[in-house]
Structure formats: C-alpha cells, structure tokens
Amino acid sequence: MKSKIEPKPDITETLRMQHSPMFSKRLKRYLIVALVVILAVAVVIIWKMAGKTTASQYKTEQVQRGELTVIVTATGTLQPTNTISVGSELSGITKSVEVNYNDRVKIGQVLARLDTLKLEAQITQSKAVLESAKAKVLQTQATVSETQAKLGQFQKVRELSNGKVPSQSEMDAAEAAFERAKADAASSLATVTEAQATLQANETNLSKSVIRSPINGVVLTRSIEPGQTVAASFQAPVLFTLAKDLMQMELHVNVDEADVGKVQEGQKATFSVSAYPNRTFEARITQARYASTTTSGVVTYETVLKVNNTDLSLRPGMTATADITVKKVLNAILVPSAALRFSPPVQQEEKSSTGLVGSLLPRPPSGTQQPTTTNGKQQRVWILKNSQLSPVSITTGSTSGGLTEVLVGNLQPDMEVVVDVITGAK
C-alpha cells in the first residue's frame, strides 16, 4: 500500500510573493507618509522658533542733548578752622573755673585759676634770698676797699724805704688778699643775678597760675572742675579746647584713589548732614593732600573744603556726605549708561546673520559672541531698524547720573537706543 506524501510549500515561492509589486507599492506609500509627517513636524518647530524670535520686544530710551555734571562723592567730618588746646604748665589745685561750654571768650580772658599759696611763699623766699645776696655784695665791696687800701699803704711805705719794708712776703699777702676780695665781690654779684632769676621764674609761675584764653573763640570742651588737682609732669594736661571761629569751618573728606585724580583745588561742592536732611550746604576745595590713608585695604586721600557757617547751624564732628563737581560738559549728546551694558540675545544675532536655514545648522558656542565693549572707550549700542537690532559704534567720554557723554558716533538726539529685553524666546 502506497502512502501519500503532501508536498511542502516552496520557500522560493514565498519569497516571490513578498516581493510582489503590490507589496512594494504599499511599502513606498508608508515611507512617503512618514517622511511627510517628519517634515511637517520640523516645519512646525521651525515656525514656532521663528515666531518666538520675532516676538522679542525691547525697552528703549531716548538719546538726549544737554549738560552733564560729573560728581565725585566722599564722606568726612566737619572741623573748626583752628582748634587750640589750652593746658597748664603748673601742678596744683584748681581754685576756680570761670568759663563753661559754648562760652565766647576773648584774648587774655581768664579761663581758670590755680591755688597760689605755695607760689606766693616761693616768691617771698626768693625775695629774701635776693636781699641777702645784695647785702653780701655790700660786704664784699667793703672788703675790696679795705684790702685795696692796705695794699696801697704797703706800696707807699715800700717806696719811702727804698724797698726795705715791708718785706716781699708781706707785699704778696696784701696783693693776694686784695684779689680774693675782688673775687668774692664778683661772686656776690653773680649770686644777686641768680636770686633775681629765681624770683622772676617764681613770679612767672604765679602769673601762669591764671589760665587765660590765647584766642578769640568758643569753648568746645572743659576738662577741669574747681578743687580738682592738676598734675603737669611730662606734658601739660589739656584743660580747655577752644575753636577760633565757628562761622568758618572745614570739611575733611576722604576721596577714593580712583577719583582723586579728578579732584583739584577751587572746585565747588555741596554736602548734607543728618541733622538737616532737607538742606544742602555749599563748600569749596581749599586743599587736596598727597598723603594717603589705608583703611581695611581701601586707599583714600584727605581733602579739605571750606564751609561758610554764619548761622552756626553746623557743629564740629558732624558727619557729612559731599558731592564734588569735578567737571561740567555743556551741549553734549548723552546716551543712557544702561544702553552700554546691553547685550542682544544670542538667537537674535544668529538669526540676523544666518537666517532660517542657518538656525537648523549646528551653531558655534555662545562664547564666540562679539563683546559689547572693545578697547578703551570704544563701545557700541543697539538701535531698532525694522524691528531688528542694529549696532552703532560710539566713543564715550564722561559718565555721571546714569548718562554717558558720546564723543564720536552716529547718534542724534531723540534717537531710541535699546537698554533691555522685555520679552523674547526662552
């Protein structure tokens, strides 16, 4: 009996069916649809990106023409034009104090008095010593006369006796006695001079026990009370501080080293103090000192300004903030300083340079963006032309109060410069 064997499907026939024309058409159709979808998605993405870029809005400000005032700000303290410390060269007990704070004094006016009992006793003693010295002078002068007469008598006798009497030794003794008498007289005269000097010194000390004002001024401080002991050992203790004239004062400010090159004598300034927040005072620079002061690593230079204080509203020690006018520029083209700090978005620059196709290509890193500021004072600002950013190169000068002077550049008053981005692609 013969068995039936079913024939197996031919692999070659199967492969032929898969590569039939109908199958190839379907595959091509699927690929075309997929490619169209991909292109559509790409177009939508590019359109959105372009829409975001063109939707960027910028804040602008006008270019002005006007006056630019360059100001240097510094802080300092008010001081009298001339301050004198009055002390005492003598030690002793204070007998009386005859002035108080804020009192006006004149030259020679008594400020205080020290107890003078000890000084008066020393003067009395000095006078007694002087009288004793004068009496000693009379005594020595009498001795000189006596020895001189005796020596003259010996000389006369010697002449009459042809040198026989008195003997030579007696003549020598008489001459020596006369010389000693003259020396004693000279010494007594010197003692008188010394006694007179001592008396004069004690009288001077007595006069110094009365402390007087050396100037016309105002009493700022008083460091002594009646009954207090004044000890003047190595240096004179300060009892009073006097200001010569508070109607004319000085403002000492510390100018930063970055600004000191602009500050010069004769420049005007205005300042304010905390006591009068709504009032401005005028001043003028009288001295810009070369000596520097370093505080916490900051180098400053002291500058002195003259202040008129006729109404006595300002007081020594007040802290003041001064604005020194170092330069004025008239009829200048002024651009907002914020425009110099503005940098356009990277996408905006790339779009303006490469267009839509370039936005699809790989872009260089953002670090290759052109800087806003070049060498020295050569800078650039941005203006809008047809809603697109356009750079303008300028040369800047002085800066103050948020405005910068334009020395060279294609900018005119009332032109709008970009200072910031309001909205844009993120």
Name residues whose C-beta falls within 8 Å of residue 143's C-beta, 6 or more positions apart in sequence: 181, 184, 185
Of the three residues 184, 208, 232, the one that is the final residue of a domain is: 208
Global pTM value = 0.63
Same domain, 96 and 217: yes
Residues 224 and 286 in one domain: no
Q: Are residues 125 and 268 in the same domain?
A: no
Same domain for 263 and 220: no
Assess whether 197 and 263 both reside in one domain: no
Q: Which of 278, 309, 328 is the endpoint of a domain?
A: 328
Query: Is 226:48 a contact under the CB 8 Å cutoff?
Result: no
Residue found under tokens 């003549």 = 171
Q: Report the CATH number at residue 390.
A: 2.40.420.20
pLDDT of residue 347: 54
Residue 416 lies in a domain: yes
Instruction: Please identify, among 244, 261, 296, the residue that sits at the C-terminal boundary of a domain.
Output: 244
87 and 236 in a single domain? The answer is yes
DSSP H helices, 19-116, are: 21-54
Domain annotation covers residue 298:
yes
- In-domain check, residue 283: yes
The reply to whether 228 and 342 lie within a common domain is no
29 or 389: whose pLDDT is higher? Answer: 389
Verify that 77 and 92 share a domain, yes or no. no
Residue 29 domain-assigned (yes or no): no
Residue 179 shares a structural domain with residue 318: no
Query: How many folded domains does the chain comprise?
Result: 4
Assign 212 a pLDDT band (cuts: 50, 70, 90).
very high
Q: What's residue 22's pLDDT?
A: 65
Q: List pLDDT tens digits, range 18-52.
A: 555 666 667 777 778 778 888 878 777 776 665 55
Residues 150, 126 within the same domain: yes
Domain ranges, residue 345: 57-67+333-360+369-423
Domain membership flag for residue 22 = no
Same domain, residue pair 123 and 272: no
Phi, psi of 322 (to 5 degrees): -105, 140
Looking at the fold, whether 140 and 255 belong to one and the same domain comes out as no
pLDDT digits (tens, 9 = 90+) for 161-207: 888 888 889 989 999 999 999 999 999 999 999 999 999 999 999 99
- What's the CATH number where 308 sits? 2.40.30.170
Report the amino acid identity of residue 413. P
Q: Which residues pair with 219 in a beta bridge?
A: 242
Alpha-carbon distance of 85 to 83, in angstroms, equals 7
What's the rounded Cα separation, in Å, for the pair 36 and 33? Answer: 5
Task: State CA 259 to chain mean position distance.
Answer: 11
- Spatial separation of the C-alpha atoms in residues 35 and 23, rounded to whole Å: 19
